[in-house]
């Protein structure tokens, strides 16, 4: 037990090495730009002031977003009953909903004590799935495993909400997990995905600004056009340009990729493995259209988009899905339920109404599944008994 604990502490300590490395590079870049370039190399006072002001603006935003990305704790599904007060208010006073639909707002992703003990004692996977299907009846979850089963984390002992995955590095389930980033020593997910995007944007801006303003002095040092009195700054200026250009290339590709993911409303995990719904896998299952996809990450108030302040929509547990078959930009679409072959034409609804409508169908679908499987298990038991009596 003790060696395992010591090994775990060593792993946590080593995980901070990439962050410390980035911090050291940033501190050196600050010294090289402010002291060696602006103070010792640039002779024009006006250019010094302009460069320092613009540099510090980009530096502050870069460090702020990087800090928020590192120290924003990943959100995980609570093992207690949780309720979103805003959603509950809208459900009661705006939509006038009553039980059992209102019960969807009280979310419990952990199995009750009796069901949990039954699940752990049960050896057959089919019986374990029956327990999970019953527990998920009132949960607004639409994604499944590749085999169509309820997604359950044996490590955290919770039913996984949509877009939630277990991170082995953090040893926890993370809501809307995108990936675990070693450069921030943190999981990028629902709680800090906006911060991560801004961190990439401001780090790219920081490197571009340094490379653009240092370029002319880099050329002068390279061609020996500057006086010998500036020779002590030569190494810092030359190396500063190379480092800034190198980071520009790497960050630009990563930033472009994540902008594409935001526009498609996908995580990195979903880009490589499409989420599986009741109707099958769908890589665009959570896409609501380009504009709504952007708003879901950055919020509906544009004045906060460029600030490392949490403004993402939702609670990380539930997400609007494309359960309505058809183009997401179309006002009318055809809705096809799992338990019926008939097609019903529905008009455009508000997001809350659409979600509640889908939750009712989801509850009925799970109930039908449990009933069908119970019937199958009863039929199997009857057949087994008859065969034993005949033998």
Residues belonging to the active site = 181
Give the HSE-up count for residue 153: Cα atoms under 13 Å, Cβ half-sphere. 25
Cα(314)–Cα(169) distance, rounded to whole angstroms? 25
Phi and psi at 182, nearest 5°, equal -70, -20
The beta strands (E) that lie in 33-108 are given as: 82-83, 106-107
Give the HSE-up count for residue 14: Cα atoms under 13 Å, Cβ half-sphere. 7
Residues 6+ apart with CB under 8 A from 73: 191
Give 144's DSSP letter: B
Cα(296)–Cα(177) distance, rounded to whole angstroms? 15
Nearest CA among 209, 201, 204 for reference residue 298? 201
Phi/psi class of residue 307: alpha, beta or left (left: φ > 0; alpha: ψ in -120 to 50)?
Answer: beta
Cα(246)–Cα(29) distance, rounded to whole angstroms? 13
Give the HSE-up count for residue 349: Cα atoms under 13 Å, Cβ half-sphere. 18
Cα angle: 264, vertex 287, 275; to 5 degrees: 90
- The residue whose two tokens read 């752990």 is 120
The runs of H, that is alpha helices, within 265-328 are: 268-272, 290-298
């Amino acid at each position: 037990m003790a060696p395992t604990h010591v090994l775990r502490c060593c792993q946590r300590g080593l995980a901070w090495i990439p962050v410390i490395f980035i911090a050291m590079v940033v501190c050196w870049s600050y010294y090289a730009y402010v002291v060696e370039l602006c103070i010792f190399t640039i002779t024009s006072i006006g250019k010094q002031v302009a460069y320092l002001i613009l540099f510090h603006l980009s530096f502050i935003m870069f460090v702020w977003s990087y800090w928020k990305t590192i120290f924003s704790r990943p959100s995980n599904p609570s093992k207690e009953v949780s309720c979103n007060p805003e959603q509950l208010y809208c459900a009661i006073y705006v939509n006038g909903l009553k039980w059992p639909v209102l019960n969807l707002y009280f979310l419990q992703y952990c199995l009750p004590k009796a069901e949990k003990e039954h699940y752990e004692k049960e050896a057959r996977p089919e019986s374990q799935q029956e327990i999970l299907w019953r527990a998920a009846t009132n949960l607004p979850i639409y994604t499944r495993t590749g085999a169509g089963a309820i997604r359950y984390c044996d490590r955290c002992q919770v039913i996984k909400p949509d877009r939630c995955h277990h991170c082995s590095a953090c040893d926890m389930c993370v809501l809307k997990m995108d990936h675990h980033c070693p450069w921030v020593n943190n999981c990028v997910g629902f709680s800090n995905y906006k911060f991560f995007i801004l961190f990439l944007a401001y780090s790219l801006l920081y490197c571009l600004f340094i490379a653009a303003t240092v370029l002319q002095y880099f050329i002068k040092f390279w061609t020996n056009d500057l006086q010998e009195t500036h020779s002590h700054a030569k190494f810092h200026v030359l190396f500063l340009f190379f480092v800034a250009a190198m980071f520009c290339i790497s960050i630009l590709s990563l930033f472009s990729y994540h902008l594409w993911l935001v526009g498609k409303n996908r995580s990195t995990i979903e880009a490589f493995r499409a989420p599986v719904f009741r109707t099958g896998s769908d890589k665009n299952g959570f896409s609501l259209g380009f504009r709504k996809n952007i708003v879901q990450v950055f919020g509906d108030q544009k004045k906060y988009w460029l600030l490392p302040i949490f403004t993402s929509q939702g609670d990380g547990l539930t997400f609007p899905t494309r359960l309505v078959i058809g183009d997401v930009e179309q006002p009318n679409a055809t809705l096809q339920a799992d338990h019926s072959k008939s097609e019903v034409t529905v008009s455009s609804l508000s997001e809350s109404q659409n979600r509640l409508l889908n939750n009712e169908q989801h509850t009925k679908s799970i109930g039908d599944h449990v009933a069908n499987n119970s019937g199958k298990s009863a039929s199997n038991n009857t057949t087994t008994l008859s065969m034993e009596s005949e033998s």
